[in-house]
A and B are shown apart, each in its own frame.
Chain A
Amino acid sequence: MNGKSGESLSTVEVEGIYFDGRSSRDRAARLTVQGDQVTVQTSADGVSGGTEARWPLARVSIDPPLPGVRRVLKFPDRTRFETEDDAAIRAIERRARRTRPLSDRMLGGVRQLEGSWGLTFAALGLMGAFVWGFIAFGLPAIARGAAAATPSRVLTTFDRETVDLLDKPPYLGPSKLSAARQAELQRGFRQVVGWAGGAYSYRLLLRDGEPEDDGNGSFGGFSLGANAFALPGGTVVMTDQLVALARSDRELLGVLAHESGHVTHRHGLAGVYQALGLTLLTTVVTGDLVSAGTFAAAAPAALLQRGYSRAAETQADEVAGAFMLEKYRTTRPLRDILARLENKDAKADESSVQSGNRIEDLLQSHPGTANRIEHLRALEQAAK
């Protein structure tokens, strides 16, 4: 065995213990690394004689370090050497850098992170930033991409399931409009979807939004009231209460055009995917598939009530604006019915909506009605 002096740069010596892999007996051992050669020596003790084994460094596997745990070197014949001397093992690791698997080297880096409170909290901060960035930007982008790529057959299925769920009291009941009035609105809807285009199975469902109207108003129950909404596959639901609120069919066609915008831009499906992505993210953190599955089942229903994002509403308004400018050269009817929806007042028009508090606007996920009316007016100005 070579001494350390003179060759200290090329020779590493470590004291530790040795297991031969055949019995559970631990033996004091010395490991020497010289050049590319690893030598493990045990000296004779009362039970058995000394041993010596040599291995090329490249065939020795060095287990990634763990905080506070002895370092372990494993040899191809299932023997192993363990030592407390982390510094010496790190010197050997540096020497074996080129031949060690990438994952082992990366876990060495992980050990560095774990070793210091500062780096741990930096990792925590980085993780926070990553999660925020992912939820705010990454996930919506992925969800939009996935929504655009989804075949329309899936969308039709989604519509059918949602309508099955909603098309009964207390949500919806059969429309009380006359057959003639319904046919008139269906004709208008066909005009809108003919303009909107796309391979969707469009249909307009006219329904009563307060099917259990017993004079108590909406106390205690969930009521859609004056409302219109679009499902991903092209199904648009419009309630009798909204029809009653309108003073002209132009207003209603504006609303339907807005809903067709949600369909063609696949806002609904993107929302569902976004909720699914959030679920996956929670699964990654908790590693628990079962509770994630339960959450995923509840997500679409929650989404239906939450509605669309600001950006989605603005985009749908732009579609509606384009339709109205093309057909009537004005966006005024849509602005008026928006104002009436906001004020729940049949006599209101666009001038009766006041611009809200700025902070309130920011907190809302829906754009404030005042902003939407302003935006529609700007669209009309731009077209002139």
Chain B
Amino acid sequence: MPDPSFSSMPPERQADALPLTLTKSGPDSQLPALQATPTISAYPMRFTGTAGEFFRLWIVNTALSIVTLGLYLPWARVRTRQYFYGHTWVDGQNFEYTANPVALLRGYLIVAAFFGVYTLATNIQFQGWEWVAGIIAVSFVALYPWLVMKSLRFLAASTTHRGLNFRFHGQAGGAYVAYGVANVAAVISSSLALPWAWFMQRRYQVENAAYGRARATFRGDIGNFYIIGLTALGMVIGAGIVLAVPVITGFALLTSDDPFSGSRDAGFLGAMAGIAVLYLAFLAAYSLAWQYIRGATLKLVLNSTELGGVVRTRATFSPWMLAWIGLSNAAVQVITLGLATPWAAVRRTRYIMEGIQVLAIASLDDFAADVTLNENALGEAATELLDIQLGF
């Protein structure tokens, strides 16, 4: 792509990440438009997708995926993403997901082939299966950070807004630190380093992201990640204590020879049912804690991200509400045998989007394009099929 010739602003303005905070005026000779008092405009994000509309899209996706024996899957994935991107708006313009389903299909087939050989090797155990399974497993572990990087690059290159592409500049080295070293450290420190790993991964994701030529910067503080982790841990411990009290009381009642406690069998069954209920309650608390971590991290990242020195994102949604939505969504999905999945997805996305604002001290019109690269879909296929969480 040639340099932008259209913009009335000098192109450097968007290319440089300026050390500018939004609260103070930044007099800078390079920024004629901002020399006066920069007014901050807030653009709320909007989500216009509806459950009924997405339900139909989802049913048709599922039906076609089955009838084509899975060949339609990449198209279904792309269409789902396109629906959510297309219904997400900032300042009157929506997003677009532009991935090519054929490229995704190629990636899916490669990943599925390796996974199939691995499953076959471990199940049928033909001659030399240890080698085949071992090589596949070792290369997966070794390639994991690289696959994450490829996936992030593909995701960014496939996202368009106002006619400009996003881009991910992350290199393999950074990925091996954020997803290799940090994850290993989290495991050997028995989760003490886990919030540090979250921090490293989020920083890698944001600092390498770009919209057009505007690079994003991450102002997140590692301490905040530890606060999130400790809050979740505290919640699980608290739930454990609260739930343990009735269990201990129950055992105490059972073991005492109280002649008025009725038949022993009824008491025993009641205690078993009680323990089952408490176990489920603890599982719910545990899952709520993870949902909280997910939502709080998202909020923290959104509140710590700047783009090109002129745009910031602000999140006002509550991570606890998000955790509740996650938990109640799961319950409704189980009760409706999965039929409520589209409703649940729309509900969660709407809540998040309506709690995000884009704050800008310049017009959103003035971003400039960067070179557009074609990114390989293999990493994306691997992270999608193997259920690798990128943390979005």
A-side residues, CB < 8 A to B, are 19-26, 47-48, 66-70, 72, 78-80, 103, 107, 110, 113-117, 120-121, 123-124, 126-127, 130-131, 154, 157-158, 161, 280-281, 283-285, 287-290, 293, 296-297, 300
Contact = CB atoms under 8 A, between A and B. Distances in A.
A21 B369 contact: yes
A24 B213 CA distance: 11
Given A285-B66, A289-B115, A68 B48 contact: yes
A20 B6 contact: yes
Interface string B373-392: 00000000000111100000
Nearest to B2: A22
Interface in B44-90: 48-50, 53-57, 59-60, 62-67, 69-70, 73, 75, 77, 79, 82-83, 86-87
B58 to A, nearest CB: 9
Given A47-B8, A123-B59, A281-B66, 11 more contacts: A20-B6, A21-B1, A24-B364, A48-B6, A67-B54, A67-B83, A107-B79, A130-B66, A284-B70, A287-B73, A296-B123
Nearest to B364: A24
B131 interface: no
B56 A23 contact: no
Contact of A287 (B69, B77, B83, B164): B77
B162 A117 contact: no
Contacts of B96: 72
Given A68-B49, A120-B56, A157-B126, A26 B386 contact: no
B12 to A, nearest CB: 14
Contact of B6 (A25, A107, A293): A25
Given A20-B163, A22-B7, A300-B123, A70 B60 contact: no
Contacts of B169: none
B356 interface: no
B263 interface: no
B41 interface: no
B7 A23 contact: yes
Contacts of A19: 162-164
B224 to A, nearest CB: 31
Contact of A79 (B66, B163, B386): B163
Given A68-B53, A127-B66, A48 B123 contact: no
A303 B261 CA distance: 46
B372 A285 contact: no
A102 B178 CA distance: 42
12 contacts: A23-B164, A68-B50, A70-B86, A114-B56, A126-B67, A161-B124, A285-B65, A285-B66, A289-B112, A289-B115, A296-B119, A297-B119
A100 to B, nearest CB: 16
B122 interface: yes
B212 interface: yes
Contact of B163 (A80, A154, A280, A300): A80
Contact of A23 (B62, B79, B101, B369): B369
B253 to A, nearest CB: 30
B372 to A, nearest CB: 7
Closest 6 CB pairs of A and B: A19-B163, A69-B86, A25-B365, A127-B63, A24-B162, A284-B70
B274 interface: no
B125 to A, nearest CB: 6
Contact of A66 (B64, B75, B82, B111): B82
A12 B86 CA distance: 25
B93 interface: yes
Interface of B: 1-2, 4-8, 48-50, 53-57, 59-60, 62-67, 69-70, 73, 75, 77, 79, 82-83, 86-87, 92-94, 96, 101, 111-112, 115, 118-119, 122-127, 161-164, 212, 364-369, 372, 384-387
B368 A23 contact: yes
Nearest to B115: A289
Contacts of B77: 287
B339 to A, nearest CB: 10
B63 to A, nearest CB: 4
Contacts of A130: 66-67
B61 to A, nearest CB: 9
A157 B124 contact: yes
By CB atoms of chain A within 10 A, which of B56, B124, B368 has the most?
B56
B86 A66 contact: yes
A157 B67 CA distance: 34
A22 to B, nearest CB: 4
Contacts of A296: 119, 123
By CB atoms of chain A within 10 A, which of B66, B77, B161 has the most?
B66
A293 B121 CA distance: 12
Contact of B162 (A26, A78, A121, A284): A26
A199 to B, nearest CB: 18
Nearest to B372: A78
A24 B67 contact: no
A376 to B, nearest CB: 35
Nearest to A81: B163
Given A69-B87, A70-B94, A284-B69, A25 B126 contact: no
A24 B164 contact: yes
B57 A67 contact: yes
Contacts of A48: 6, 8
A69 B83 contact: yes
B293 to A, nearest CB: 21
Nearest to A158: B124
